[in-house]
Structure 1
Amino acid sequence: MYLPPHFEQADPDRIRNLIRTCPLGMLVTAGPQGLDANHLPFILNPDRGPHGTLLCHVARANPVWRELADSQAESLAVFQGPSAYVSPSLYETKRTTHEVVPTYNYAVVHAHGRIIVHDDPRWVAGVVGRLTRMFEQGRDDPWKMSDAPPAFLEERLSAIVGLEMPIARLQAKWKMSQNRNEADRRGVVAGLDASGRDGDRAVAAAMKAAETGTSA
């Protein structure tokens, strides 16, 4: 990933928070047929390894897990956070010099590591249970694995395989108008904050958090 120093995010709390709030990652692997990308919900275990460990599962019919079982190569998990188009009309500079062009603000995390395959029903059940609790929390009537008939649940669990990625290295990029002057940044925050789009307002919140040093 092209990563100019002024866009680099090094705060581990912000990086972990992006993975938790945007858990649908893109797992990029290299196999016999070339590059492959699978879109999977991940759990981040922050206490395992220097950068944490990612957990997920794939369909048994998906050939990627067999390819990974025989591979020593690193894989890449990409997590996309909030993003928004930035119009030149939001910059104060437009009203003075007109020397401005459109851009796009975004936050993204790249996690690199070698995948460990778990073709183990108990391990898979543990990950599915954690994923379920993570996504069901806050619901009035949260679904639990025990709600399903045991035989049905056993059949469904046998159709998936677990993946574990101890994170060997992390890259995080917060492109949030750090290369603009203060007046231009204020204009972007105000314009995106007033937008009707959720993504625009999320980027405005991330820019404000960066200014105040809080987590976003």
Structure 2
Amino acid sequence: MLVHPWDAPHDDTEWRQWLAVHDFGQLAVNGLPGEPPHVQPLHFVYDAGRGEQGEVVTHLARPNPLWPALEAAPEVLLSVVDDYVFVPGPWQAAPDGPAEHGTPTSFYAAVQLRCTARIVDDPAEKAGLLNRQVGHFQPEGGSALAAVGEEPYGRMLAGIRGLRLEVTGVSAKFKYAGHRPREVQDRIVAGLAARGGPRDAAAREHQLRRRGTWRADR
């Protein structure tokens, strides 16, 4: 993923805070020889406190076709993208140029985690991973814990395999016109507010938060 200096996160805290509330992504696994990569949509939990760069935990059904490829090549990429919007060309036009000469583009936030995968088949460890996930996604409770040999989930453990992904590298990007002149940024902010599309408010918040923090001489 190309990351220009003006799109880079200010620090690790920025992308980690964003990732903490964006917990659905796509896991890319290298295919076996002659096969394309596997791309699996999934919910996951990122734990920044485990390992040098954090750990991701998730699980998938045992019949999933990606397991042989993952066993052959455990280096994977977890990609998360959200807060994306289309920006019309006139919004990005230079202050001293005609509006129709503006360049349309996309705004988005993205984090890519390069990971080393470890498959978890031990029933007790799988139960522990499931409980970590439920604790994240359902903190209000209301569901029984998974435990080996106990209802209601004990018998279901055989039907899944757990995944622990040790994060070995991070690429993060917040593409929100950080290098544009203030007048252009003001126009984009106003356009997002007026349009009010599904992700416009989140994109506008990113732009307002990050504006004025990038300098070409850094």
Judge conservation of contact 1:110–1:171 (CA < 8 Å) in 2: yes
Judge conservation of contact 2:93–2:102 (CA < 8 Å) in 1: no
The CA deviation string for residues 179-207 of structure 1, in whole angstroms up to 9 with x for no partner, is: 31111111112221333323111000111
Match of 2:94 in 1: 93
Unaligned runs of 5+ in 2: 214-218
In the TM superposition, what are the counterparts of 1:43-192 in structure 2 within 5 Å? 43-71=45-73, 73-91=74-92, 93=94, 96-98=97-99, 99-137=101-139, 142-146=141-145, 150-192=150-192
**1:42, 1:190 → 2: CA distance?**
35
TM-score w.r.t. the length of structure 2 is 0.85
Judge conservation of contact 2:26–2:41 (CA < 8 Å) in 1: yes
Identity of aligned residues (%): 24
Judge conservation of contact 1:85–1:103 (CA < 8 Å) in 2: yes
Judge conservation of contact 1:92–1:187 (CA < 8 Å) in 2: no
**1:174, 1:15 → 2: CA distance?**
9
Q: Give the match's secondary structure for 1:111.
A: strand
**1:184, 1:128 → 2: CA distance?**
47
Amino acid at match of 1:126: G
Deviation at 1:96, TM superposition (A): 4.2
The change in CA–CA distance for 1:85 and 1:146 in structure 2 (over 3 A counts) is same
The CA deviation string for residues 134-188 of structure 1, in whole angstroms up to 9 with x for no partner, is: 22235xxx43224999334112222111111111110011111113111111111
Deviation at 1:66, TM superposition (A): 3.7
Q: Give the match's secondary structure for 1:134.
A: helix
**2:139, 2:50 → 1: CA distance?**
23
Figure out how many residues of one structure are paired with residues of the other and give that number: 209
The change in CA–CA distance for 1:117 and 1:41 in structure 2 (over 3 A counts) is same
Deviation at 1:131, TM superposition (A): 1.6
The CA deviation string for residues 81-125 of structure 1, in whole angstroms up to 9 with x for no partner, is: 211111133346367433312111001011102111111222221
Q: Give the match's secondary structure for 1:50.
A: coil
> Which protein has the bigger helix share?
1
50-59 or 13-22: bigger deviation:
13-22
